[in-house]
Amino acid sequence: MSGIDTLPPLREVIDSHGIAAKKSLGQNFLLDLNLTAKIARLAGDLSECDVLEIGPGPGGLTRGLLAEGARKVLAIEKDSRCMPALAEIAEAYPGRLQVINGDALDVDPLEHLTPPIRIAANLPYNVGTELLVRWLTPKEWPPFWTSLTLMFQKEVAERIVAAPGSKAYGRLALLAQWRTEARIVLHLPPEAFSPPPKVHSAVVNLTALPEPRFPADPKKLEQVVARAFNQRRKMLRAALKGMAPDIEDRLIASGIKPTDRAETVGLEQFCALARNLAES
C-alpha cells in the first residue's frame, strides 16, 4: 500500500487500465509513490498554491502533489488511456483535480488556475525543453508561475544549471539563469522508471526571480544566444555576422571581444549585446 493515499498501487492501476508504456509518447512512469511524494515536496509548499502538472500518465506524481496539500491540480495529459485512472484520483480528492485530455502546448493554464501557481512535471525530453523555453521567455516578468520542478535527462538538467566555460553551457543555461534561480535537486537512476530509459535523469527546480538579473528583450536575447551557440566553436564576430553589419563594434560596446567564443561569455554581456542589437 502506498502510504500517501488509499488508492491502489500504481502497478495495479497500469494493469487494470491497460496503460502499457508507449515510446511515441515518451512514457517512462514513476511507480514508487514514496519517490513521487518526495518530488512533490521538492516543488515547495503547495498548501497555498494551484499546481499545473504536465503529462500525469497514470498519476504517480499527481497523487504526490495532492497528498502534499496542493490547493488544486490541473493535469494535462495527451494519452486518453490514462483518463480513467486519473478520474479515480479526482474522485479520491473531491474538487481538487481537474484533468484535461490534450496537448500541453495548446492549453492556457490561466483559464483554469489562480495564482500563486507552481508547475511540476515528468515530461518527455522534447516537449519538456520546448515548454521550459516558453515558460522562461514571456515578454512580461514575473511570469504566471512562481516555480518549476521538472524532470529532465541528466544531460539536459546539467545544461540548465551550467556555468560559463563548461561544455554544457549554452542557450538553456543563459535563458534559465537570466530570470530564475536554477538548481538540480534530485538525481535518479534509470531503474526509478518503468520501463527504464537509457539515460540517467535529474529534477531541476527553477524559482522565478522578481526581476531578470539584467534587462534585455527576451526574444532578442533568445535570438542572440541561439545564433552564438549554434556555431559555438566560431569566434562571435563570425557566428553573429548576420545580426548586424557593425557586429564587431556592437560586441566591443557590450564588453565582448569579437574574437571570443560564445562559451566564455557571461550572462551580463549577452544581455548587454541583446540591448545593443535591439537599438539598431
Residues in the annotated binding site for S-adenosyl-L-methionine: 28, 30, 55, 77, 103, 122
**Spatial CB neighbours of 199, under 8 Å, sequence gap ≥ 6:** 153, 154, 155, 190
Cβ-proximal residues to 67 (8 Å cutoff; 6+ apart), any chain: 4, 5, 37, 40
Contact string (CB under 6 A) for ligand SAM, positions 126-165, x = contact: -x--------------------------------------
Sign of CA dihedral 239, 244, 249, 255: negative
Q: Segment near ligand SAM (CB under 6 A), from 101-109, 201-209, 246-254, 255-263?
A: 101-109
Binding ligand SAM (rule: CB under 6 A), the pick from 64, 124, 212, 218 is 124
Q: Candidates 19-27, 153-161, 179-187, 251-259: pick the segment binding ligand SAM (CB under 6 A).
A: 19-27
- 130's grid cell: 520546448
57 binds ligand SAM (CB under 6 A): yes
Choosing from 4, 25, 35, 92, the residue that interacts with ligand SAM (CB under 6 A) is 25
**Least distance in Å: CB of 193 to ligand SAM?**
7
251 neighbors 240 (Cβ within 8 angstroms):
yes
Taking Cα atoms as reference points, which of 275, 262, 166 lies closest to residue 215? Answer: 275
Of 121 and 240, nearer to ligand SAM (C-beta) is: 121
Answer for the pair 251, 237: CB distance below 8 angstroms, yes or no.
yes
Q: Residue 61 CA to chain centroid, in angstroms?
A: 15
**Of the two residues 136 and 216, which places its CB atom closer to ligand SAM in the complex?**
136
Half-sphere exposure of 3 (CA within 13 A, CB side): 7
Burial class of residue 80 in the structure, from the number of CB atoms within 10 Å of its CB (0-12 exposed, 13-18 middle, 19+ buried): exposed
Strands 72-77 and 50-54: parallel
CB-nearest residue to ligand SAM: 55
Q: Which of residues 28-47 bind ligand SAM (CB under 6 A)?
A: 28-30
Does the footprint of ligand SAM cover residue 104 (CB under 6 A)? yes
Q: Does 122 bind ligand SAM (CB under 6 A)?
A: yes
Minimum distance from residue 112 beta carbon to ligand SAM (Å): 14
- The residues binding ligand SAM (CB under 6 A) are 25-30, 54-57, 60-61, 76-79, 103-105, 122-124, 127
